[in-house]
Structure formats: C-alpha cells, structure tokens
Chains A and B, each alone.
Chain A
C-alpha cells in the first residue's frame, strides 16, 4: 500500500497493523525517516510534492520491489506539508518469508523514493528557510540495483 498524507502517523501502530495483515510472512523489516535537527536550529520542515506523479512514482517503485523480491507485502507512507522537528517523515515496511528479501527490498524502496519520487524538502530554521540539496551519493545508490 502507498499513502501520501499531511497528517502525522504513528510508526509503531502502523507496523503492528501491517504485521497483523501478513501473519505468515516470518520476516518484517521497517525503516522510519525522522526530521532531524543537526544544527539545533531547525524549527520545522515543509515537503512539497507533485500530486498525481507522486502516487504514480511510488506505485511503480513498490511494484518493482514486489517483482524483484519474494514479498508478501510492502507499505510506503510519506508525509507532505508542514512537519515539526523529530516528527516521522516517512516509513517503509516490507514482509517476506526470508530476511534477506525483506531487508534488500526495504533498502531498494528507500534508495528509489529518495531520488525518483517527486518530493522536495525545505528546512525552516530561525534564520529563514532553504531547500534541501540532493546528494550525488543518493543518485549513486541507485546503480547497485
């Protein structure tokens, strides 16, 4: 399932609900991305996206993961709009019979949604706001798949 939402979500609750729905899976891997405050001056984050393309791109990335690995299911949640420091930005959960498939698929989903899903982060600090720059290593990460 793919969810793009402005509302905060509870990663623990999401993981429990997902786990209950894939009772036979045996291996469940989850990753949660959190708004970090490295400099101690971050007051929040704003996430812009491209409605329509976002859902399409995430669906395609999830579909590719379901084909390439032996997965019972995969969940992707991504926030949009205003976020506060320490809130969860996004979450990926994969379920498989095998640990390796669950881990690899979760990493694949993370790598692709970082630089192939149309989201743009803007950090808001006490000094103003600035768009987060993409990193060459995020693009390089795709080459291993």
Chain B
C-alpha cells in the first residue's frame, strides 16, 4: 500500500510517500512494524497521541483495520483556517 507523510512527520521520515509491503492488520500494527524498521520511523512515531491517521483520505483511529486500504496517511493535528 501507499504510505504518505505530511508536515513534520514527512520531515522526520524524510520522504513524502512510499510503497510499503505489509501484512499488518491494523494501523497500530503498521506503526509497530515501521518503528521496528529504522530509527527515523521510531522517532516519528514515538508518540502516536500527537499524530492523526487517514485511510483512503478518511480520518480514522489507530485501531482501524487495513484490509482493502490503498492509501494510509500519517500527519500531525491539522492547523488550517
């Protein structure tokens, strides 16, 4: 699936998007998998309460299932307006 990062999450991880092969069942499982990969992920995902996640462009909770999802996006709380 396509994993996207925005704002400081993008800066910490170093890429705006990447293709990730995963069998993670939920967003939380995917986060755990990414954190185990490399330190930059571990740092970016250290505090998930400071992060938001969207699956196929809809905001969801971290326990949301990934089955059938094409696009996962991680980002800090939004600051529009």
List chain A positions with a Cβ less than 8 A from chain B: 33, 47-48, 50, 52-53, 56-57, 78, 89-90, 110, 113-122, 131-134, 139
Contacts and interface: CB of A to CB of B under 8 A. Distances in A.
A114 B6 contact: no
B65 interface: no
A133 B57 contact: no
B27 to A, nearest CB: 16
Interface of B: 4, 6-8, 10, 54, 57, 59, 73, 75-81
Nearest to B73: A50
- Select the residue from B7, B59, B77, B79 with max chain A CB neighbours within 10 A: B79
A95 B81 CA distance: 19
A132 B57 contact: no
